[in-house]
Amino acid sequence: MADDRKDAPGDDVPSWLTDLVRGTYGDLPAELERYAGPVPARARGSAVLVLFGTGARGADLLFLRRSGALRNYPGQVCFPGGSCAPGDGGPVHTALRETCEETGLDPSEVRIAGALAPLNLAHSGFSVVPVLGWWGAGGRIAGDGEEIVSVHRAPLADLSDPGARLLVRLPDGHLSPGFQARDVFVWGFTAALTAWLLRLGGWERPWDTDRIEDLADTRRRYGGGPLP
């Protein structure tokens, strides 16, 4: 995935995360093919922050749970982020601003490792730039209580556990990666991106790819919000 990548990683970004960003420069994997292609003329620009950190159980990823009252992606677990605003100055600023608004995160705690090329969410009309960042042990954050009801730092060890992996059959028949790791259930675009990064980073472990569940069943069992 090539783009201009104007934001070079700082010296305090772990080398494994820098290598991970370099690994995204090639072709898109199968999980993300449905989000590829030129950005539609009427797409709404947005960005998400794929934020790696480290806790008591090693490297982790930050996820947010959206309110069930929202119009877009109600109840879903996702990466922090949102729509571009005038004056943002690019997707990195959008991702940091939105994360700050949603969780109270101090942007100065984050070191940017790189940004990927835009991916298209055709069903919602958004063009999304994933921004990869690092915040080490991190700081104190919480959901804003309106759009975001909870925040979760999911250890990569949990996400890569074979027992946490499944495929979710969406209403259109597409199979989406899924993760059930402790108190978060991740599917759709967020899970597809997570699955790719786990594989690139060498964390993926063999898992049962024949474990397939319909979206309606996963919603009853794990939560995760309806399909937009």
- Specify the pLDDT at position 165: 97
- Specify the pLDDT at position 167: 97
The DSSP letter of residue 7 is -
In angstroms, the CA 132 to CA 140 distance is 20
Percent of residues, the chain, with pLDDT higher than 90? 70
- Specify the pLDDT at position 69: 77
Estimate to the nearest angstrom the gap between the alpha carbon of 124 and the chain centroid.
16
Q: Looking at the predicted structure, is the pLDDT value of residue 211 above 70?
A: yes
Give domain 15-222's CATH number out of 3.40.980.10, 3.40.50.880, 3.90.79.10, 3.90.1150.10: 3.90.79.10
DSSP string, 65-82: EE-TT-SSSTT-EE-SEE
Q: How many CA atoms, within 13 angstroms, populate the side-chain half-sphere of residue 49?
A: 31
The sheet with strand 184-187 has its strands ordered as 184-187, 175-181, 165-169, 212-214
- Specify the pLDDT at position 145: 84
Mean pLDDT of 102-122: 94
- Specify the pLDDT at position 12: 86
